[in-house]
């Protein structure tokens, strides 16, 4: 009879993804990769005092005396396995009580480590909250919380972390699609269906959906998919389980709205994405004036069902923002246009918000909408910032005076302090308040990343955008921003992965081609960059648009006549569109052409006019030829920003062909 030994230990599971399919395609290659992985494993485990308890096919079970040793060993293994020839390895770690004898190892901790490994992706090291508790004070082992997951055959949801060192993969929650786990305490609110006879009431059902999302993101501990990703499923009759997989949520709220005169009927169903089970299904027949109470009732019901700790009684999630239902209807119509994200729609939204204020002069939400609209028009160059930003500030400040707890207004103030005032401390305070009021807002985390870009904190920029992508996994603008964050962190291949992912969503998404162009230049592939920039330009509506990146790439390739033609077209646009500021385009063009003095002339003009895009000054690869010039740090100092370091200059730059 074997003697059983019990002890506290760290358990690591490692497994090659797709090994069976590899064996069928190329048995010799598959076995070669497995042997390479086992050799790396043996060396690392010996160094960190681990014991191999069992090999099973392409996987291995290992025991360590400490969580720190287990994580360090896993980091070394993955670092080696991501070198050529790459081994697609997944690793999961947990710490707890185990029992083992000559026949094997037992205990819940072994099961948990196995579940975490199955949740992982190639190139990543995932581990439980217990492991994180052991390594949290180790600066060489940074980790990112991926959320709370319900693992199969594990009683309580567990926090899952990813090791975030070097080039290790840090997956976002949408990539963790194992059938053995689901993200606990998470919900996506799908667009409520308009059941009214008047199709014009579509804005009302969309508005209720958005209000429910805004209410739920204020609940700490509850992960709520943002509007962009939820509305991607509007009008599409897709299986709830597939929606849950795409958005990586454990529940989905769907419903309908019927509006007839002053009466409304709202139906709502909360559904588990794992099995399609209805957690609740209810109908609310009310007067239109009760719409805020209905929204609050639904929000509280969901929050209470999904949270471990119930909300305090008498603490409404939805505050009645106005008693004037006509003004509220106009606001919802305005948001319907605002969310179309086009200049004509924005101008229509602005008109509707102003009409709402005519009916209700103290309507804070309408002021918040006006602030956001003027910010959009100024930031996209549709209106000169000198005209749009003061209007945005006045509206945001009035919204905050009327309602100090509107997160959108705090974000608007933060953006103004970043883009126009260069008031970095003030922006930090406004962002902190917005995140306090709405911790689950992808918009707030996205804006927070802009602050860190300005400060030159590339790691914090990436962290904030990874959170934003978790909250809004189908948002093109946020995915593109995360790709940019990877680029400025020197993780060029990961940036490429995200840009190609954007084109899988939408092959005509223009921003992805521009991003691929700059990433290709950083990688040193000028011909590929030209192809991407040419596609980017072809998707514009005018031959004079989208020329700066293309001209830069032509210059890098030595095609100077083509580059000069781009410069000529840029000047032509400047004459034709005097209300649009093109200073930063000229900076990029002249930097590409090697005319550094002219580039600085335009950069000076941009600083004098306080162009908002200058917050990207230190992180824009197009301007890398300017970074080492003393005038560059002088401009940063005038803006009150930290000076550029030598390490920062080298992290993301476009190599000068003369230096190659």
Per-residue pLDDT reduced to its tens digit, 535-575: 999 988 889 988 999 999 999 999 999 999 999 999 999 89
Strand partners, 162: 126, 144
Residue with structure tokens 């308890």? 53
> If residue 415 lies in a helix (H) or strand (E), which one and from where to where?
helix 407-416
Assigned token pair, 572: 């032509």
Q: Which residue in 267, 113, 109, 122 sits closest to 180, CA to CA? A: 113
- pLDDT attached to residue 248: 78
Judge residue 314's burial from the number of C-beta atoms within 10 Å of its C-beta, 0-12 exposed, 13-18 middle, 19 or more buried: exposed
Contacts of 484 (CB under 8 A, 6+ apart): 495, 515, 619
Instruction: Cis check for the bond before 85: say yes or no (omega within 30 of 0).
Output: yes
Number of CB atoms found within 10 A of residue 487's CB: 26
Phi, psi of 536 (to 5 degrees): -55, -50
- pLDDT attached to residue 395: 92
Where are the CATH 3.30.70.1230 domain residues in the chain? 5-182
Cα 10 to Cα 13, 95, 405, 584, 630, distances in angstroms: 10, 4, 45, 53, 52
- pLDDT attached to residue 636: 92
Cα 356 to Cα 205, 210, 212, 369, 639, distances in angstroms: 18, 18, 21, 11, 38
pLDDT in tens, 7-27: 788 999 998 887 777 777 788
- pLDDT attached to residue 306: 59
Where are the CATH 1.25.40.10 domain residues in the chain? 331-602
Phi, psi of 542 (to 5 degrees): -150, 140
Instruction: Cis check for the bond before 407: say yes or no (omega within 30 of 0).
Output: no
Class for domain 186-320, per CATH? Answer: alpha beta
Strand partners, 10: 64, 95
Where are the CATH 3.40.50.10610 domain residues in the chain? 186-320
Q: How far is CA 560 from the centre of its chain?
A: 38
Assigned token pair, 355: 């009409």
- pLDDT attached to residue 224: 84
Q: Which residues of the chain have pLDDT under 50?
A: 1, 179-180, 308-314, 658-660
Residues 325 and 264: beta-carbon distance below 8 Å? no
Q: Which residue in 459, 592, 497 sits closest to 175, CA to CA? A: 497
Number of CB atoms found within 10 A of residue 645's CB: 13
The span from the CA of 349 to the CA of 534, in Å, is 34
| 331-602: CATH number | 1.25.40.10
Maximum pairwise Cα distance, the chain: 91
The span from the CA of 563 to the CA of 550, in Å, is 8
CATH architecture of 5-182: 2-Layer Sandwich (3.30)
């Amino acid at each position: 009879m074997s003697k059983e030994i019990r002890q506290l230990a760290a358990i690591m599971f490692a497994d090659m993804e797709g090994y069976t399919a590899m064996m069928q395609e190329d048995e010799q290659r598959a076995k070669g990769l497995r042997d390479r992985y086992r050799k790396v494993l043996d060396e690392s485990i010996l160094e960190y005092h681990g014991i191999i308890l069992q090999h099973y096919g392409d996987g291995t079970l290992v025991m360590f005396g400490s969580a720190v040793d287990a994580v360090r060993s896993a980091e070394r293994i993955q670092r080696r396995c991501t070198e050529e020839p790459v081994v697609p390895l997944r690793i999961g770690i947990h710490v707890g009580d185990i029992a083992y004898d000559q026949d094997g190892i037992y205990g819940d901790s072994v099961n948990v480590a196995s579940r975490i490994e199955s949740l992982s992706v190639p190139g990543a090291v995932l581990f439980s909250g217990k492991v994180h508790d052991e390594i949290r004070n180790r600066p060489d082992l940074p980790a990112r919380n991926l959320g709370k997951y319900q693992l199969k055959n594990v009683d309580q949801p567990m926090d899952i972390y990813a090791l975030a060192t070097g080039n290790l993969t840090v997956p976002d929650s949408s990539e963790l699609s194992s059938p053995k786990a689901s993200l606990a305490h998470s919900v996506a609110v799908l667009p409520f269906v308009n059941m009214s006879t008047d199709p014009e009431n579509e804005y009302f059902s969309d508005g209720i959906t958005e209000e429910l999302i805004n209410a739920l993101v204020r609940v700490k501990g509850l992960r709520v998919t943002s509007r962009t990703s939820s509305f991607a499923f509007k009008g599409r009759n897709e299986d709830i389980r597939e929606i849950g997989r795409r958005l990586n949520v454990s529940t989905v709220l769907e419903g309908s709205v019927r509006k007839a005169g002053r009466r409304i009927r709202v139906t709502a169903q909360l559904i588990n994405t794992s099995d399609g089970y209805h957690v609740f299904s209810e109908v609310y027949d009310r007067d239109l004036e009760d719409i805020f109470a209905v929204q609050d009732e639904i929000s509280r019901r969901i929050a209470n069902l999904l949270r471990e700790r119930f909300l305090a009684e008498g603490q409404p999630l939805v505050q009645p923002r106005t008693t004037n239902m006509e003004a509220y209807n106009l606001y919802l119509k305005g948001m319907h246009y605002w969310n179309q994200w086009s200049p004509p729609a924005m101008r229509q939204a602005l008109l509707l918000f102003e009409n709402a204020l005519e009916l209700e002069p103290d309507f804070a939400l309408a002021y918040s909408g006006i602030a956001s609209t003027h910010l959009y028009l100024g930031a996209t160059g549709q209106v000169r910032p000198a005209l749009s930003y003061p209007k945005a500030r006045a509206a945001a400040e009035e919204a905050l005076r009327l309602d100090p707890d509107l997160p959108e207004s705090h974000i608007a103030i933060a953006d103004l302090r970043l883009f126009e005032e260069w008031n970095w401390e003030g922006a930090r305070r406004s962002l902190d308040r917005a995140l306090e009021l709405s911790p689950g807002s992808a918009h707030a985390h996205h804006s927070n990343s802009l602050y860190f870009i300005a400060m030159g904190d590339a790691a914090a920029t990436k962290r904030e955008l990874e959170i934003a992508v978790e909250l809004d996994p189908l948002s093109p603008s946020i995915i593109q921003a995360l790709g940019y964050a990877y680029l400025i962190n020197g993780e060029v291949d990961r940036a490429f992965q995200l840009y190609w992912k954007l084109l899988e969503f939408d092959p005509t998404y223009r921003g992805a081609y521009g991003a691929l162009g700059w990433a290709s230049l950083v990688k040193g592939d000028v011909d590929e960059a030209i192809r991407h920039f040419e596609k980017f330009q072809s998707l514009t509506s005018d031959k004079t648009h989208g020329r700066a990146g293309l001209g830069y790439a032509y210059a890098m390739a030595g095609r100077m006549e083509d580059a000069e033609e781009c410069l000529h077209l840029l000047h032509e646009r400047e004459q034709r569109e005097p209300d649009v500021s093109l200073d930063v385009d000229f900076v990029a063009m002249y930097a590409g052409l090697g005319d550094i003095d002219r580039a600085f002339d335009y950069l000076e003009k941009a600083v004098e006019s306080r162009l908002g895009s200058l917050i990207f000054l230190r992180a824009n690869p197009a301007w890398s030829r300017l970074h080492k010039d003393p005038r560059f740090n002088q401009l940063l100092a005038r803006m009150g920003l930290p000076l550029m370091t030598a390490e920062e200059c080298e992290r993301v730059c476009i190599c000068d062909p003369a230096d190659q």
